Amino acid sequence: METRQPILGAFDPDTIAILLKVLDDVSASLNANETIRQRLARLILVAAKDGERDPAELRERALGGLTA
């Protein structure tokens, strides 16, 4: 079983709103189950930790991470 490192970071309320919207939109477009939704959330958080805030880029990185 794969162990995962925690994603450390703090985000302001506006950023959290962006991240949640992206997660909801991508999840809905894929009709994602809970497992996929959790993977998407992790990918989005990693991108945000790297400084990404553009919703389109967050979406692309999340989708790209699923296929990687």
Residue entry with tokens 């991240």: 19
DSSP string, 9-38: ----HHHHHHHHHHHHHHHHHHT--HHHHH
Q: How do the domains of the chain map onto residue ranges? A: 13-67
- Confidence band of 67 (pLDDT split at 50, 70, 90): confident
The pTM score is 0.85
Query: Which of 25, 14, 9 has the alpha carbon at shortest distance from 59?
Result: 25
Model confidence pLDDT, tens digit, residues 33-58? 999 999 999 999 999 999 999 999 99
3 state DSSP class of 51: coil
Q: Does 2 or 9 have the greater pLDDT score?
A: 9
- Indicate if the pLDDT at residue 2 is higher than 60: no
Query: Which of 8, 47, 12 has the alpha carbon at shortest distance from 56?
Result: 47
